[in-house]
Structure 1
Amino acid sequence: MFKLPPTQALTGHGSFKTYTFKIGKTRDASCVYCGEEDSPRHTLFSCERWAGIRRECEVGIGDVITANNMVDYMLQSETKWKEIERAMTRIMTTKEQDERRHEGTRNN
């Protein structure tokens, strides 16, 4: 599995429709899973598609992850960094695989 750094999620340059719409790669910024605006904040903290992964991460660090506390937790310990990085990697990797599959079916 290709391991993505948290930088992609933190900068918003990645498989987020708000970004791909901005650069002209997609026609809109709607999340393919729920229809909300697909921003990094939405993907990482509120989209129900990723709730299970978020819950596992929160159990691992012992608290609810939010946009306001994520970086603080990442800097607290290597264990928390790895737990959050693992969750982000799982989300982003799956999201990119889904996107490639969707593009493949659209082009066939």
Structure 2
Amino acid sequence: MTLRLIRGFRTISDDAAHALSGITPIDLDKKGKYLASEEHTQLEIREWIRGVWQTRWKESQRGRWTYKLIPELTEWADCEHKTVDYHMTQFLTDHGCFRGYLFRFRHVNTAQCLYCTDAVETAKHILLHCSRFVEERAQLVALAGSPLSPRGRVAAMMAENPKPKIAWDGAHVIIVTMMKRVRKDELANRSQSEL
């Protein structure tokens, strides 16, 4: 269910899918229901669930790129102006049209970026280093008002500034544009390889 909500690939870890969707893992939900029958307040139960879930997220070996972007589950879950779609999920999980990801499943012959031959194409590479996205990076820096970093980008998008929805939507449009270009370039490369 979480994968459907975030429109993600089934290779995304449960930990990352639960984090992005904001849906509590089912075992914690069940434990919360049990605690409710033992006369704990809803607030106590909610705080306990969030605490255990946060600890799991911090200690998990899976979804580490997503964790770098979203280390605090409560902050993410409470951000009312965020939207997660197919392209944003690819960016937030490093799963999808990135050559580093495609290479893991033998869909491409190399993980290297089509534009930066000395680098593996990942979400981090696209966000911080790829030569084809210099202009988009400048736009993201202007929106954030600070240098780019994985955590800083998402934090700036979630910030409760005077116009939080504008910050999120602006960055979202730029990231989706980048993701579509990565996909388009990959498809063009495949077509050219088949000739």
Specify if TM > 0.5. yes
- Report the equivalent of 2:135: 52
Q: From the CA coordinates, give the structure whose radius of gyration is larger.
A: 2
Mapped pair 1:37 → 2:124: no
- Partners of 1:4 and 1:86 lie apart in 2 by 13
Contact 1:21 1:27 in 2 (8 A): yes
Q: 1:91 to 1:105 in 2, by over 3 A?
A: same
- Partners of 2:122 and 2:141 lie apart in 1 by 21
Letter in 2 for 1:23: F
Q: Which stretch has the larger CA shift, 33-42 or 97-106?
A: 97-106
Q: CA deviation at 1:61?
A: 2.9
Q: Which has the higher contact order (CA 8 A, sep 6+)?
A: 1
Pick from 89, 93, 105 the counterpart of residue 176 of structure 2.
89
Mapped pair 1:67 → 2:154: no
Q: CA deviation at 1:89?
A: 0.8
- Partners of 1:64 and 1:81 lie apart in 2 by 17
Pick from 13, 16, 26 the counterpart of residue 108 of structure 2.
26
Aligned residues between the structures? 106
Gaps of 5+ in 2: 1-84
- Partners of 1:107 and 1:27 lie apart in 2 by 13
Q: CA deviation at 1:54?
A: 0.9
Aligned-CA RMSD value: 1.6
Letter in 1 for 2:90: Q
- Report the equivalent of 2:187: 100
Structure 1 length normalisation: TM-score? 0.87
Identity %: 24
- Partners of 2:179 and 2:122 lie apart in 1 by 12
Q: Over residues 38-86 of structure 1, what are the superposed CA-to-partner deviations in whole Å (9 max), with x where a residue is unaligned?
A: 1110111111211111101221332222112122112112111112111
Contact 2:144 2:153 in 1 (8 A): no
Contact 2:87 2:179 in 1 (8 A): no
Q: 1:45 to 1:51 in 2, by over 3 A?
A: same
- Partners of 1:32 and 1:58 lie apart in 2 by 24
- Partners of 1:40 and 1:61 lie apart in 2 by 18
Structure 2 length normalisation: TM-score? 0.51
